[in-house]
Amino acid sequence: MMNTHLALLRRLRAASPLDEVPTRKALSVHLARRVDDVGAPALAEFAYLQMVAAKIWGAERTAHFARVLRDARVSPKALSQCPWQNAERLAGLLPVEWQAALLEQIAISRKGRAVFGRTIWSADYTKAVLAALGRWAAYCGSQGQDSVPTATSLDAYGRHLVRPDGDDQPITTGTAADYLQRIVAGLSVATRGQLRSNACDFVVADWRERSRVEGASTKTGSQLVGASALYGFGFRLMAEANARPMRGLEAAKIFRNGLIFAVGAALPERARALTWLEFDRTLKLIDGSHIHINLPGEALKYPEARKAQEGYDVIFENSGLAEALHAYREDFRPLFDDGLHLFPSVHGKPGAITSAHLGRLTGDITEREFGVRIPIHRLRDNVATEASEQLIGGAYAAKTLLRHVDEAITRRHYVHSEGLKAAREFDDFIEKRRKVFSELVL
């Protein structure tokens, strides 16, 4: 007796372009039964069926094969644990005398409403502070010293972080400065304000200044390839996905990746904000050329007390990007799942890609394409540099575009833009020198 896979394969090979394509429901039933019969090999068999079907009916009419296969391969993501619950767990690992005050801070911050005399912390910052306090407490225990820092002990810990003993990995000066700031902030709460040391504040400020002078070790001039180049690269990826003979999950992933670069250049927000983009909610396609972005404060890098009242609401015109978004929503986005996240996860459903994964993904792709890693956050630097060069107003215009609080941040990119402009002018000069404009008299 012929198995169901061979029976369907024979049917497909005998079909013509005028015949009806098997429906998604019928294919789902077929694959489920085949998985029951033979297990995992049924998935590879089904992928081959889509290849055969695509040759008959084309990539577009057989795209639903890919969705059936993905539904069978990928199980739904487990619901993430509440970040505040994780924070409470971390607080419970700290010295007992700190716990009550820190749990009170977590409860206040969780409500998200301003309280007189208290600073509201975000869930991410709370976990970072508690993790830093945990490391500090462990270090003090190993050194046999008081966990309430002095300027001397705090500075010594910073030096230990950048030049650790044993097998510990060293960290950058900037990261060490972050740890020291979190320790002081956390202990100020944990001791209910008893730790108020100008000397410790000076140590933190000193480490901040050192990191500013040294610069970010993860940022180099070679990462400035230009926002326009990255934007164009995104559209090339989308064109590659469209040209594939079979519209499967791989094509959908390539289109999504191209959209990440195009949207990241057109909307130079941080990775966290980009993961919040969702059709009909934070991203609306008004027509064939206008796009409405409406991000809540929670998605943005604002002080926690401002997040409930402020957000980012803008309508901009970009017909090329709008057309790509329409095509993506219609043809490629449904191959992931029935959700509306602009950048869905490939490894689980439903849900958006995480900001950390977004950074790794863009870094890996640009390293292959440009020979240098450009994670998504570094794309903002490319936008800032090019905007400083091209826009009227230079760094002042770029400051508004990227919503930098400190103008000095954008001024650094203005300096970069002058270097980029000089390099381009030199290239033009060399190119002109290569050309001969007079005839030789022989």
Residue range 222-427 in CATH 1.10.443.10: yes
| Mean pLDDT score, 384-407 | 46
16 φ/ψ angles, rounded to the nearest 5 degrees: -120, 165
| DSSP states along 256-290 | HHHHHHHHHHHS---HHHHHT-BBTTTEEE-SSSE
Tell me if 382 sits within 8 A of 357, measured CB to CB: no
Higher-confidence position of 435 and 74: 74
Q: Which CATH superfamily is domain 83-214 in?
A: Tyrosine recombinase, N-terminal domain (1.10.150.130)
pTM of the model: 0.70
Asked if the domains 83-214 and 222-427 are classified in one and the same CATH topology, the answer is no
Q: What is the pLDDT confidence band of residue 224, given thresholds at 50, 70 and 90?
A: low
Provide the residue ranges of all domains of the chain, joining segments of one domain with +: 4-73, 83-214, 222-427
CA distances from 311 to 130, 266, 282, 397, 410 (A): 27, 18, 11, 20, 21
> What is residue 187's predicted lDDT score, i.e. its pLDDT?
93
User: Can you give 348-410 as a three-state secondary structure string?
Assistant: CECCECCHHHHHHHHHHHHHHHHCCCCCHHHHHHHHHHHHHHHCCCCHHHHHHHHCCCCHHHH
DSSP state of 223: G
Tokens encoding 394: 């230079």
User: Given a cut of 80, is residue 387 above it in pLDDT?
Assistant: no
> What is residue 422's predicted lDDT score, i.e. its pLDDT?
42
Reference 378, options 223, 272, 222; nearest CA is: 223
336 SS3 class: coil
State what percent of residues in the chain have pLDDT above 90. Answer: 47
Tell me if 73 sits within 8 A of 51, measured CB to CB: no
Exposure string of 84-106, with b = 16+ CB inside 10 Å and e = fewer, is eeebbebbeebeeebeebbeebb
The residue type of 193 is G
Q: What distance in Å separates the CA atoms of residue 54 and residue 239, rounded to the nearest whole number?
A: 19
